[in-house]
A and B are shown apart, each in its own frame.
Chain A
Amino acid sequence: MHETGVAAEIYAVSRRTADAHAGGRLSSVRVLVGELSAIEPDLLAFAWEAITSGGPDAGARLDVEWRAARQTCAACGTVAERAPGSWLKLCPRCGGVLRIEGGDELDVRDVTFEDAGDAEAAR
């Protein structure tokens, strides 16, 4: 369970980004989470809530975009289709060795925040 630390890093990056643009409250943060990032999206969402609740950015949304890993044949280039969480042992087309590519994303993609004037305009 290192999602708490990861959520804290996401929050720090997001808050820093908003501050650098003289932004106000965080509205939403989009993160990319790969299948091989060793991060559980549900736990990350839970940790995000725990970290933001009670603070100035309470209620900010964390949008998780899942990125599957790809199994690609080294011999014929086929990108093998597979069920989530399962792995093919050999290329379904030519029987060649499959390489695993991608799926290690753990990135903050973008941050959306209120502009300094938004809060006053809403009053």
Chain B
Amino acid sequence: MTQVDVKQKVLAANMEAAARLREGFARSRTLVVNLISSPGSGKTTFLERTVADLKGRFRLGGIEGDIATERDADRLRRHGIPARQILTGGSCHLDARQVRQALEDEKGALSALDVLFIENVGNLICPTSYDLGEDFKVVLLSVTEGEDKPFKYPAIFSKAPVAVLTKIDLLPHVDFDLPAVREQIRTLNPGGVLLETSAKTGAGMAGWYALLESGLVRKRS
């Protein structure tokens, strides 16, 4: 019987692929954002609003991860930006190799951008583990979801430097303890940013755009 010390990251292969992606994004100076949330939190609507407001100023593109259907990529394309749908066929997250394949399949259309949005599969758990070569992760939470979500899913809320609360226009109609959610997010990520937004009314979106712009400035310097 032999015991060998390994001390290796289980997801080392994905981390390696993500590092290659990150090198490519550094060369093209593309700011890459990995958006993670549960299904129905309004990720795509949030992105549609972002694209509508910013496409005149920046070259934008999207990669959409879903188990099935091209719907989300179609929604972004309708706004006149390149978008690639990744169908995971049951898998609950995107991995770096799928992103690399999507970039290759688009033959350069997603490789000369200012900002690339990667909308992950709707799931608050599995996407947390997979680096996609992004500059930062964004976790989104809608006010129609349970207000205990951050403490139920501490991994993603502690890791994502940006948390976005969506659908705040619905706050008057739902029992959502906003101060409690703010406190939970602050507890899990004291240095993180919390944005309170509505893609419908545009509330809070300016803060999100400022964050993207400053990220882009850093990326280009």
Interface residues of A (CB under 8 A from B): 1-2, 5-6, 9-10, 13-14, 17-18, 21, 23, 27, 31, 35-39, 69, 74, 86-89, 97-100, 104, 106-115, 118
Contacts and interface: CB of A to CB of B under 8 A. Distances in A.
Interface in B1-25: 1-13
B158 A112 contact: no
A110 B158 CA distance: 28
Interface stretch (B62-70, B149-157, B198-206): B149-157
A6 B11 contact: yes
B1 A2 contact: no
30 contacts: A1-B126, A2-B92, A2-B126, A2-B129, A6-B10, A6-B129, A9-B13, A18-B4, A31-B10, A35-B155, A36-B155, A36-B158, A36-B159, A37-B155, A74-B190, A86-B151, A87-B187, A88-B187, A89-B183, A89-B187, A99-B190, A100-B188, A106-B10, A107-B6, A109-B7, A110-B4, A110-B7, A111-B4, A112-B1, A112-B3
B154 to A, nearest CB: 6
Given A36-B154, A36-B155, A36-B159, A2 B13 contact: no
Contacts of B125: 2, 38
Given A13-B8, A87-B188, A100 B91 contact: no
Majority-rule SS of B interface residues: mixed
Nearest to A29: B6
B47 to A, nearest CB: 23
Interface of B: 1-13, 91-93, 125-126, 128-129, 151, 154-156, 158-159, 183-184, 187-191
B169 to A, nearest CB: 28
Given A13-B6, A87-B151, A2 B158 contact: no
